[in-house]
Chains A and B, each alone.
Chain A
Amino acid sequence: MLRRLLYDSKVRDLFWQIVICAGLIGLTVFFVRNASQNMVNAGIASGFDFLWRTSGIDVPFVLTGYQPSGSIWSLFWAGVANTMFVSLIAMVLSTLLGFVIGLARLSSHWLLGAVAGAYVEFVRNIPLLFFVLFWYFGVIAALPAPKDSISLFSALFLNNRGLTVPSANDGTVFGLALAAIVLAGLLQWLVMRRAAARKAATGQDTPVLAIGLVLCGVVPLLALMLATRATGWDMPQAGRFNLRGGFVIIPEFVALLAALVTYTAGFVAEIVRGGISAVPKGQREAAASLGLKPGQILRFVVIPQAMRVMIPPMTSQYLNVLKNSSFGAAIAYPDLVSLFMGSALNNTGQAIEIIAMTLAVYLFFGLIVSALMNWYNARIALVTR
């Protein structure tokens, strides 16, 4: 009887799961007891009350309207905003650059392919931190001083203190433009749905791209221009020693963005190349024999099939960009890790709460990006019967 019980696979499964569970609980209890003992010894408080204390931390690059007199909670959000800002721009730019390099690698032109290949091999085998430091201490530090700024159309000024761009006198107009872009995007989405339905019903094309350009480009631009007509632009002007006016994009941001884009583009290029080479040659030949033009072949036959292969690795690249934006901590770009896990932690000493909050932000955004990409992936997946 006992012997039978001993060799029953269900009993054994249960036994091992209980053993492992007990071991994990024991380990956790051990760690938690040590931590609470050590915290009592070191006189560290616990709980989330510190969030409402005045932060007093000066942040050189703020998007949320944070003030040093604000609370640590508002510092947290300033960090989240800076992290999201650099990540989103880096995602868009590295996708564009990566597509260009990936397509160049596949080009029939030998030298173009070789140059693109050399870029990919160069970038992928060097640490990202190296690029961050190189752009910051190597390139931007070597730019001229503010009085000798490199200027572009007398509107953009690049120097070793960062990039100065024109800004509106009243910052709310940017909110207005953003709202216009969101609205235009929604309208465009409706137009595309209508166009697809029309195509399915009648076979007629709608100039979706042209409508989209007007909606998403011209409308917000007009809104911005009308709004700034009222308030006026704050143009940077070259003074004797320094620039006056405009909005200064700090060099840490420029360096981090440049590093993220140049590095990630190498990986995106490989994904693009892999995706497009994964489409069987016969597909192209069949499309050509049906009389499709090269542009149409790419748009209707190759890219939709390549996208299926590309989406899972692209998801992880986007998540990498989000996580890698924390490399800014090495050059003091005020992102979430450097503001919250660095400055706020130094001021309050509440390591456990602060680390938990910081990691939760990354895990949360990671889940959102994965969910969005899964939804998109399911939409374009091969429909099989």
Chain B
Amino acid sequence: MNVGRATGSNALALWRQRLFSTPVQSAITLLLMAFTVWALAPLVRWALINATWVGETRNDCAPGGACWVFVKARFGQFMYGFYPPMERWRPNLLGIVALLGLAPLFILQGRARLRLGIAVLLVLPPLGIWLLGGGFGLAAIETRQWGGLMLTLFIAVYAGLIAIPLGILLAIGRQSRLPLIRTIAVIFIEFWRGVPIIAVIFLASLLLPLIMPANVSVDRLTRAVVGLGLVIAAYMAEAVRGGLQALPKGQAEAAAALGLGYWQTTGLIILPQALRISLPAMTNEFIALIKNTTLVLVVSILDLLGIAQSSFADPAWVGMNMEAYLFSGTIYWLICFALSRWSRSLEAGGPKGH
């Protein structure tokens, strides 16, 4: 079977071989096809064929089909939540700046890439908070007005900014030869990995204000981001540990023989190689983080799924549950699927260099 050269009758033979080689195989094929048609045909009919694409209100929608007018009318909310429409250029600008800053990282090599990476890491996060939150010349916008896809990405990125460095530190701590540090790292990791994330979000929203001095108030969104960041840090630590354990011991010994100290060995020899090995696993944890951002719903922060959920209450658009779910679900799926493909291609590429 040569798939690459299968043309004309060859292709036909190939598909016959795949689907109808024996009577049992043919029976399975027909059964599966019937099942697929039975399951998908109503969906396709509803979502595409009978759907209404143009119009302004609910009345423009034909019954028996999806009402995509609803998504069009509420597109702004799905993307930005209740962020003031006049200020929506700010998240847009942030997105463009982030793309422009990150794109060269895939092109540049070596030292230039490292320098740009550090610059992006130092500049973008504060810039993002300033652009979205305001202050210093921009109108202040409270976090309870943030929402939609913008908020989902914000939570994922900022919780990731807590989780990745903390996770790396914890993984190094777990491998440390100092027993006390090892114990602290193990307890921290196993505790956060052992409890449900939903409970952690409740915990963060209840306990963070309690353990801070009375005059310090912690923003609701900050609490959720910190809670998520702590849990994902524990999972990240386990992903990084895999990479650390995969490194041959000789690497550290050779570095020590060259006279490098502990931090030099870790920072210049161990981590660069270990992180390269654990990058696929870390990407998978990041996908899990994106999926878990939806849990902020329980403390009534309206991310993409929360906005979809809250739209059911709109009297002008009653009964749009399926449209809202299909639209938001597709966005989640596209983001996570793209990331998981990337992670898999990293895995296939394997560790380079050493």
- List residues of chain A with CB under 8 Å of any chain B CB: 13, 16-17, 20-21, 24, 31-32, 34-35, 37-39, 41, 109-112, 115, 121-122, 124-130, 133-134, 137-138, 141, 319, 323-327, 329-330, 337, 341-342, 345, 351-352, 355, 358-359, 362-363, 366-367
Contacts and interface: CB of A to CB of B under 8 A. Distances in A.
Given A38-B210, A337-B196, A363-B195, 10 more contacts: A13-B178, A110-B19, A125-B332, A126-B332, A126-B333, A137-B325, A138-B322, A326-B198, A359-B199, A367-B194
A133 B309 contact: yes
B261 to A, nearest CB: 11
B336 interface: yes
B32 A112 contact: yes
A362 B196 contact: yes
A65 B198 CA distance: 27
B330 to A, nearest CB: 9
B36 interface: yes
Given A115-B36, A129-B297, A134 B210 contact: no
Given A127-B292, A130-B294, A130-B325, A37 B180 contact: no
Nearest to B287: A125
A137 B207 contact: no
Contact of B312 (A16, A24, A137): A137
Contacts of B293: 127
Contacts of B210: 34-35, 38-39, 351-352
B332 A127 contact: yes
Contact of A133 (B212, B305, B332): B305
Contacts of B309: 133, 137
A contact patch SS: helix
Contacts of B29: 109, 111
A134 B197 CA distance: 20
B194 A362 contact: yes
Contact of B206 (A16, A330, A355, A359): A355
Nearest to A121: B337
B302 interface: no
Contacts of A38: 209-211, 214
B25 interface: yes
A40 B266 CA distance: 46
A305 to B, nearest CB: 22
A19 to B, nearest CB: 10
B28 to A, nearest CB: 5
A39 B336 CA distance: 42
Interface in B36-55: 36
5 contacts: A38-B211, A130-B294, A327-B198, A330-B198, A351-B206
Interface centre among A129, A342, A358, by most chain B C-beta atoms within 10 angstroms, is A129
A-B pairs, top 9 by smallest CB distance, nearest first, are A125-B336, A127-B291, A31-B211, A110-B18, A326-B196, A323-B196, A129-B294, A17-B180, A366-B194
